[in-house]
Amino acid sequence: MGIKAALPRYEVYFYNTVLGLAMFWAASWIFEVSSSSANRKTFKTSVKPGWYYFGRKMDTADSEWMMWFSTYRDHILFALSGHVLFAKICSMLAPQYRSLVYMVYGLLAVWTSMGWTYVTLMLSHCILLYSISLVKIRWLCFVTGLCTLATFKCEPFVSWQAGFVDGDFELRHVLYYGGCGFTIMRCMSFALENCERKDGNYNILELLKYNFYLPFFYFGPIMTFDKFYVQANKSDLTRKEREMWNINLQCLIYLGVILVVDVLFHFMYILTIPSDMKLLKHVSDWALVGLAYFNLVYDWVKAAVMFGVINTISRLDHLDPPKPPKCITLLYVFAETHFDRGINEWLCKYVYDYLGGKHENVVEELIATLCTFGVTIVWLGPCKVVLIWAFFNCFGLNFELWAAKVFSMEPFASFEMAMSEAMSRRIRAIFNTFNFWCIVLYNILALNNLDFAKLVAKRLLLKGFPFTTIIAMFVTYCLIQVIKERERRQALIDDPDPLPPTAATSAAATTATPSAAQPAADPSKEKAE
């Protein structure tokens, strides 16, 4: 079955209608629970007075969102605005030194916010991994990088290194772990790229330019060294047509999304409710399923906005940063599931694709996924929830390959060839429906907590069977078909179908006749043909 398999138009309209009504219905249940529980004792720490205009309390459970767009908004804006200002001045006066100016400003900003001892700690890790990279042994660079990363996740190394940061600035705890983790990943990227270089070595100054680029330093995303090196050192700073218009448009979109999310936090407490297990046991199945889904959607929105703001600044610096993650609403396979495209590209480039090759061999794929999630566990920090999340996602990724291998054999291949493309798409969507809920359940485990994930699974599959199970799966099936329709339309844009043989023969015959005897071709008719 090809990605361009089409369904009747009325069927697609039906799927969109069902999906829209189901989303509205689930949101209404969550709104009702939020309104009736706003004054619960368990909500006091996270549901606080919001905007005066609404007269409602606001969900403030996500400290990361509040830090970015409320508590420390002014500090972050001040630091990033200074970077944009100095970068613009340098691009106009001495563009050949712009990467050096990025490094100097980044070092000064980190020194000002975290102190000289923290800068010394980061420099020591950079020097260590740079020294190892000179040996040009890939596995040694990898082992050294992972061991260094583990020192920020395991005691007593965590406490010892945390002593390098002092002061009462509340944001320092977040900046400390963000800067340390991303620094090690960037240094590993530099070391691995240096191993691949045939002639000579990269200068340590290039590593410092790469690591202390301020927009990426604390919060990411990670841009692999090979891409950053080429883009930060290019001399041609001309922009594409309408590039600044697109950047300004993206700024307005992110501002609008931030306002919409803050408004919704006044009406739906999707982050606070999952932490109250007593309340969850009494809410409806629709509210519980909706909470699981909306939590994942919100996490994608947060990642898209936070990385989007930073990416917009890097685009002003003539860089091409990693794209925002793919929305959970558009996912139904484990191979595309990620919430940080920078980390995803890093893992694919240096681990998953390097070990898995073409991802066709079952054993190679198993080794590649085990190593990939092993690195991910070290990156996130080993704990019970992370280990369970990694196990299920690793299993899901491999199970997709196993299923694809089995169904490509006989007699399944003959069955699919005998049916129409539309029917094949419907049957595949049924299997993708169960895959989608596996992705949801595995990821709310990491985003919320184990008890919430178990409760959703129990209510969806056991206690709610058969009514809730069948309805939820049917709505999900409609969602999968909507996603597939979007993919089909995008595929037609990226790779238009060639003209059919009859049309091509007719066009050739028309060309062979005198042009004066033929009427002018109608572009709309050619496009339709």
Average pLDDT score over residue span 72-99: 86
Contacts 24+ apart (CB under 8 A), 351-355: 351/375
Residue 389, CA distances (Å) to 36, 146, 359, 443, 478 in order: 33, 20, 22, 7, 27
pLDDT at 152: 85
Amino acid 257 reads V
CB atoms < 10 A from the CB of 466, how many? 7
Q: How confident is the model at residue 104 (pLDDT cuts 50, 70, 90)?
A: very high
Q: How far apart are CA 442 and CA 457, in angstroms?
A: 10
Q: How confident is the model at residue 347 (pLDDT cuts 50, 70, 90)?
A: very high
pLDDT at 166: 65
Cis preceding linkage at 322, omega within 30 = no
Alpha helices of 37-72 — where are they, by DSSP H?
63-66
14-52 b/e (C-beta count within 10 Å ≥ 16 → b): ebeebbeebbeebbebbbebbeebeeeeebeebbeebee
Q: How confident is the model at residue 168 (pLDDT cuts 50, 70, 90)?
A: low
Q: And the tokens for 228?
A: 């950053």
CA atoms within 13 Å, Cβ hemisphere of 166: 4
- Residue 330 pLDDT > 90: no
Residue predicted with more confidence, 211 or 516: 211
pLDDT at 529: 34
Highest mean pLDDT among 157-161, 193-197, 330-334: 193-197
Closest CA to 458 of 334, 285, 293: 285
pLDDT at 430: 92
pLDDT one-digit tens code per residue, 401-450: 888 888 888 888 888 888 888 898 999 999 999 989 998 888 888 888 88
pLDDT at 156: 76
pTM of the model: 0.85
For the chain, the structural domain boundaries read: 9-56+275-308+325-494, 71-237
Q: How far apart are the first and last CA of the chain?
A: 23
CB atoms < 10 A from the CB of 345, how many? 19
Residue predicted with more confidence, 339 or 190: 190
Average pLDDT score over residue span 349-365: 88
Q: How far apart are CA 421 and CA 186, in angstroms?
A: 45
Q: How far apart are CA 154 and CA 156, in angstroms?
A: 6
Residues 455, 288 contacting (CB under 8 angstroms): yes
Axis-axis angle for helices 204-211, 116-133 (nearest 10): 130
CA atoms within 13 Å, Cβ hemisphere of 208: 17
Average pLDDT score over residue span 313-333: 85
- Residue 171 pLDDT > 80: no
pLDDT one-digit tens code per residue, 28-84: 999 999 988 888 888 888 888 888 777 788 998 888 888 877 767 778 888 889 999
pLDDT one-digit tens code per residue, 444-501: 888 888 889 899 999 988 888 889 899 999 999 999 999 999 989 988 888 786 655 5
How much of the chain, in percent, has pLDDT values that exceed 70?
92
Axis-axis angle for helices 116-133, 98-114 (nearest 10): 130
Q: And the tokens for 33?
A: 């629970």
Mean of the per-residue pLDDT values of the chain: 85
Average pLDDT score over residue span 322-329: 79
pLDDT one-digit tens code per residue, 248-263: 999 999 999 999 998 8
Residues 132, 191 contacting (CB under 8 angstroms): yes
- Residue 523 pLDDT > 70: no
pLDDT at 325: 78
Report helix, strand or coil for 324: coil
pLDDT one-digit tens code per residue, 11-23: 999 999 999 999 9
Q: How confident is the model at residue 107 (pLDDT cuts 50, 70, 90)?
A: very high
Give me the phi and psi of 57, to 5 degrees please: -80, 165
- Residue 10 pLDDT > 90: yes
CA atoms within 13 Å, Cβ hemisphere of 221: 32
Q: And the tokens for 257?
A: 């999304």
Region of poorest pLDDT, from 84-93, 424-433, 512-521: 512-521
